[in-house]
């Protein structure tokens, strides 16, 4: 086995929910795959890689790059047509891994455009979707993939086919696979539309039980010391679990979803107010797969309960800030209202999850990273469920009204309600904010904020390709070749093309930016509850950044210093959590906040030079520590660094000092008042101005 040895599935300790979700998909790939959410170091990848070894071997047409089944070959296979007596070859199910940096061509395959144009040959090089056909497609850090690639992958998983359209040439091939994605929520969420396409979701976390943690470490060290001997010790359990998967697959077509069970499925989905009907379909398929796994002829209420716990958590969230998970009491109530619970409990059902063949409620799995055991091993896979958050943006809402605070307030006043005069304000209502973007055309990560040259979008021009040409710009290629036809001895049979004639398309779309919030948390901001409106505004901007696929960061300043509360990340949840915990009070070190922000931007520019920054300074402009002149000098220095800035002016009251306006001028920034930050408020201001001009 050597360095390529895989850790056995039955040797994984705990993680019963994850094991059950993977086994359900192994029994019924139609469930739609698994999204595994969890913190780093929880062995998500180890468990997924171990699953592939349990899948039954399959027959494939010898020499077919697309893995066609000789019993039912794909009639549109690019390597076909295959004869009825095609020679089969026996091979294990493949585990294909999609790396984070993969291109569209690597995923779906690519056409050799040069050969197509110069030789008239439709030469297609298969991608990872073709390699994963009838196997497992594993995507680690799926939330870091661009949405376009995730869309292509999920479309293929749902349709069972992959289409490649390139310059008028169309290729289609079968692509049916078990899709498994893993992600760390701290690095950002998937869009709700993409979350909904994953059949099941599971939330994993490292156990806090010292004994179980010790067993994880012990088994991992044993595996690393002698992988072959370790695998031999678990070989019996692996074989039995593989046989159980195959038997459950054969039982699945005979499982009956009774009307009573179907009513329970639909009642649960309606009770949790999930959008659309995909949740009902996935829950029904999962319940049937669970019944087959537990050797039952009919779906029971227990199967419906476990199916709902796996299929619904990531579909019920309306907002990225909603807590993940499913309310167990609400689930029980929905099941009981739809009909009587199944009278048999797990302890009374010989074929249920507590049986040797059934998938039980887990115990120890065994292994370095948690997992499930087969019949005959330390424990059987459990029936739990994960909690997967879904993200959604806020709907349009009213702009927050800044709380009135007089210009003469002392910025170092100590309001009551916290240690040392500090206090924490609740966030105000969120709303749809104005769009702020970075000027010019960038070349960063595809997103939805600023203009950029990206692999996706409208074609805006052509250029000479590099080593790996992108999509060909056909008209520009023909224009480049046309002047040379006489010299090349064109004989009337068509254009004579050379590699030097090729031109690739330049496409313009939108990019995601780094949005760094620099928030004033001093005493003047806390006066008269103004911070409530500020927090609501910043939360609204955070939601906007999430929807536009930006990275976010948070710098706050108060007292005598500024600090980085949230290093740049793609997790809007982390930003919202830090913002809600933000305490206010003390003096206003505005210059320190600006310089700390500049330092963060400098480091991030070194890490990711293609991602352009947008600095959002939220302040009333006062600078009671360090002075206004120092703050203006810091602002002017940042403005000279080619950083796009926005100043949200939080000053309020009938008399205003205009300090935030002076800061915006020094930064070369766009200035907007807090009460004008909402898109609806901006529309109202424009309409009001037009009405006034018309009346004049």
Q: Is residue 80 part of a domain?
A: no
Q: Is residue 217 part of a domain?
A: yes
Let me know: does 316 contact 390? Beta carbons within 8 Å. yes
pLDDT-derived band of residue 275, with 50, 70 and 90 as boundaries?
confident
Distance CA(162)–CA(149), nearest Å, equals 12
> Does residue 381 carry a pLDDT above 70?
no
Q: Are residues 486 and 580 in the same domain?
A: no
Question: Which pLDDT belongs to residue 124?
Answer: 77
CB proximity list for 309: less than 8 A, separation 6 or greater: 326, 331, 384, 385, 386
Q: Are residues 671 and 551 in the same domain?
A: yes
Q: Is residue 543 part of a domain?
A: yes
Which of 477, 510, 543 is the last residue in one of the domains?
510
Among 1-15, 82-96, 198-212, 250-264, the least confident range = 1-15
pLDDT-derived band of residue 391, with 50, 70 and 90 as boundaries?
very low
Q: Are residues 534 and 677 in the same domain?
A: yes
pLDDT-derived band of residue 647, with 50, 70 and 90 as boundaries?
very high
Q: Provide, rounded to the nearest whole percent, the portion of the chain with pLDDT above 70.
A: 78
Across the chain, what does the average pLDDT equal?
A: 78
Question: Which pLDDT belongs to residue 300?
Answer: 92
Question: Which pLDDT belongs to residue 403?
Answer: 37
Q: Are residues 499 and 429 in the same domain?
A: no
Q: Are residues 551 and 663 in the same domain?
A: yes
> Does residue 192 carry a pLDDT above 80?
no
Let me know: does 363 contact 379? Beta carbons within 8 Å. yes
Which of 468, 483, 510 is the last residue in one of the domains?
510
With tokens 């002392």, the residue in question is 410
- Summarised one tens digit per residue, pLDDT across range 146-176 is 777 888 888 888 888 888 876 556 788 888 8
Secondary structure of residue 449 in the 3-state scheme: strand
* Helix (H) / strand (E) containing 31: none
Q: Are residues 328 and 343 in the same domain?
A: yes
| Length of the chain, in residues | 696
Q: Are residues 661 and 683 in the same domain?
A: yes
Greatest mean pLDDT among 165-169, 219-223, 525-529: 219-223
Distance CA(25)–CA(34), nearest Å, equals 8
Distance CA(289)–CA(380), nearest Å, equals 16
> Does residue 253 carry a pLDDT above 50?
yes
Let me know: does 553 contact 568? Beta carbons within 8 Å. yes
What CATH number does residue 544 fall under? 3.40.50.410
> Does residue 408 carry a pLDDT above 50?
no
Give me the mean pLDDT over the 190-219 stretch.
85
Residue 647 pairs in a beta bridge with 617, 671
Catalytic residue among 243, 278, 633, 662: 278
Question: Which pLDDT belongs to residue 500?
Answer: 82
What CATH number does residue 26 fall under? 1.10.8.80
Question: Which pLDDT belongs to residue 164?
Answer: 80
Among 64-78, 161-175, 276-290, 565-579, the least confident range = 161-175
278 belongs to the catalytic site: yes
Counting beta carbons within 10 angstroms of the beta carbon of residue 494, is it exposed (0 to 12), middle (13 to 18) or buried (19 or more)?
A: exposed
Rounded to two decimals, the pTM is: 0.66
Question: Which pLDDT belongs to residue 322?
Answer: 60
Q: Is residue 232 part of a domain?
A: yes
Q: Is residue 183 part of a domain?
A: no
- Structurally, how many domains does the chain consist of? 3
- Summarised one tens digit per residue, pLDDT across range 601-618 is 999 999 888 899 999 999
> Does residue 281 carry a pLDDT above 80?
yes
Question: Which pLDDT belongs to residue 555?
Answer: 94
Q: Is residue 694 part of a domain?
A: no
Report which of residues 170 and 668 the model is more confident about.
668
Question: Which pLDDT belongs to residue 1?
Answer: 44
Which of 476, 492, 510 is the last residue in one of the domains?
510
Among 41-50, 80-89, 259-268, 395-404, the least confident range = 395-404
Question: Which pLDDT belongs to residue 422?
Answer: 63
Tell me, what DSSP letter sits at residue 434?
Answer: P
Q: Are residues 492 and 518 in the same domain?
A: no
Q: Is residue 99 part of a domain?
A: no
Among 23-27, 387-391, 645-649, the least confident range = 387-391
pLDDT-derived band of residue 369, with 50, 70 and 90 as boundaries?
very low
Q: Are residues 352 and 424 in the same domain?
A: no
Q: Is residue 452 part of a domain?
A: no
Residues 321, 322, 324, CA angle at the centre, nearest 5°? 120
Q: Are residues 322 and 366 in the same domain?
A: yes
- In which domain, by residue range, is 498 found? 457-510
Q: Are residues 311 and 237 in the same domain?
A: yes
Among 209-223, 283-297, 324-338, 656-670, the least confident range = 324-338
Question: Which pLDDT belongs to residue 649?
Answer: 92
* Radius of gyration from C-alpha coordinates of the chain: 30
Question: Which pLDDT belongs to residue 118?
Answer: 58
Give all strands (DSSP E) within 216-373, no chain letters: none
CB proximity list for 502: less than 8 A, separation 6 or greater: 113, 114, 117, 464, 465, 469, 472, 477, 480
Q: Provide, rounded to the nearest whole percent, the portion of the chain with pLDDT above 90.
A: 25
Among 166-180, 229-243, 394-408, the least confident range = 394-408
> Does residue 494 carry a pLDDT above 50?
yes
Query: For residue 443, which phi and psi values (nearest 5 degrees)?
Result: -145, 40
Q: Are residues 532 and 489 in the same domain?
A: no
pLDDT-derived band of residue 178, with 50, 70 and 90 as boundaries?
confident
Strands of 34-38's sheet in order across: 95-98, 136-139, 178-183, 34-38, 200-204
């Amino acid at each position: 086995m050597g360095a390529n040895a895989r850790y056995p599935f039955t040797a994984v300790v705990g993680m019963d929910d994850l094991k059950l979700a993977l086994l359900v998909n192994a029994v019924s790939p139609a469930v739609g795959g698994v999204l595994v959410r969890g913190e780093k170091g929880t062995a998500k990848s180890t468990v997924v890689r171990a699953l592939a070894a349990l899948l039954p071997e399959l027959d494939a047409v010898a020499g077919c790059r697309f893995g066609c089944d000789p019993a039912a070959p794909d009639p549109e296979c690019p390597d076909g047509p295959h004869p009825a007596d095609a020679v089969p070859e026996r091979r294990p199910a493949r585990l294909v891994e999609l790396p984070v940096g993969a291109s569209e061509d690597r995923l779906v395959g690519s056409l050799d455009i040069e050969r197509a144009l110069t030789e008239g040959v439709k030469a297609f090089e298969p991608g990872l979707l073709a390699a994963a056909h009838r196997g497992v497609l594993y995507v680690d850090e799926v939330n870091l993939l661009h949405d376009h690639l995730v869309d292509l992958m999920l479309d293929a998983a749902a349709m069972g086919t992959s289409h490649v359209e390139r310059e008028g040439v169309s290729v289609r091939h079968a692509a049916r696979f078990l899709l498994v994605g893993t992600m760390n929520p701290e690095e950002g969420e998937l869009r709700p539309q993409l979350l909904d396409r994953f059949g099941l979701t599971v939330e994993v976390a490292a156990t806090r039980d010292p004994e179980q943690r010790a067993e994880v470490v012990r088994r991992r060290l044993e595996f690393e010391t002698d992988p072959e001997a370790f695998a031999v010790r678990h070989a019996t359990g692996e074989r039995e679990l593989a046989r159980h998967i195959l038997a459950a697959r054969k039982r699945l077509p005979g499982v009956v979803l009774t009307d009573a069970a179907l009513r329970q499925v639909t009642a649960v989905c309606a009770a949790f107010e999930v959008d659309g009907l995909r949740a009902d379909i996935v829950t029904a398929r999962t319940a049937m797969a669970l019944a087959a796994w537990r050797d039952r002829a009919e779906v029971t209420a227990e199967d419906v309960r476990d199916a709902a716990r796996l299929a619904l958590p990531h579909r019920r969230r309306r907002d990225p800030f909603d807590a993940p998970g499913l309310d167990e009491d609400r689930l029980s109530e929905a099941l009981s209202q739809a009909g009587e619970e199944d009278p048999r409990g797990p302890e009374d059902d010989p074929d249920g999850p507590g049986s040797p063949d059934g998938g039980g409620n887990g115990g120890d799995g065994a292994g370095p990273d948690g997992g499930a055991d087969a019949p005959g091993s330390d424990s059987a896979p459990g029936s739990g469920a994960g909690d997967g958050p879904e993200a959604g943006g806020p709907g349009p809402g009213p702009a927050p009204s800044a709380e009135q605070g007089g210009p003469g307030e002392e910025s170092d006043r100590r309001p009551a309600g916290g240690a040392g005069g500090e206090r924490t304000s609740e966030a105000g209502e969120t709303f749809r904010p104005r769009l702020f973007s970075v000027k010019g055309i960038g070349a960063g990560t595809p997103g939805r904020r600023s203009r950029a040259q990206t692999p996706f979008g409208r074609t805006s021009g052509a250029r000479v390709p590099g080593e790996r040409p992108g999509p060909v710009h056909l008209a520009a290629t023909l224009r480049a070749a046309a002047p040379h036809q006489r010299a090349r001895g064109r004989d009337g049979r068509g254009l004579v093309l050379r590699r030097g004639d090729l031109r690739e398309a330049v496409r313009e779309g939108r990019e995601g930016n780094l949005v760094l919030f620099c928030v004033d948390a001093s005493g003047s901001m806390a006066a008269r509850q103004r911070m409530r409106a500020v927090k609501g505004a910043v939360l609204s901007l955070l939601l906007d950044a999430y929807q536009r696929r930006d990275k976010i960061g948070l710098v706050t300043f108060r007292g005598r210093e500024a600090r980085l509360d949230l290093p740049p990340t793609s997790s809007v949840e982390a930003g919202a959590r830090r913002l809600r915990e933000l305490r206010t009070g003390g003096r206003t070190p505005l210059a320190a906040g600006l310089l700390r922000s500049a330092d963060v931007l400098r480091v991030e520019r070194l890490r990711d030079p293609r991602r352009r920054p947008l600095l959002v300074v939220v302040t009333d402009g006062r600078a009671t520590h360090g002075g206004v002149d120092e703050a203006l000098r810091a602002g002017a220095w940042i403005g000279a660094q080619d950083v796009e800035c926005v100043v949200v002016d939080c000053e309020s009251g009938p008399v205003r000092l205009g300090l935030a306006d002076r800061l915006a001028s020094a930064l070369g920034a766009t200035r907007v008042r807090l009460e004008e930050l909402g898109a609806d408020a901006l529309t109202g201001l424009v309409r009001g101005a037009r009405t006034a001009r018309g009346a004049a």
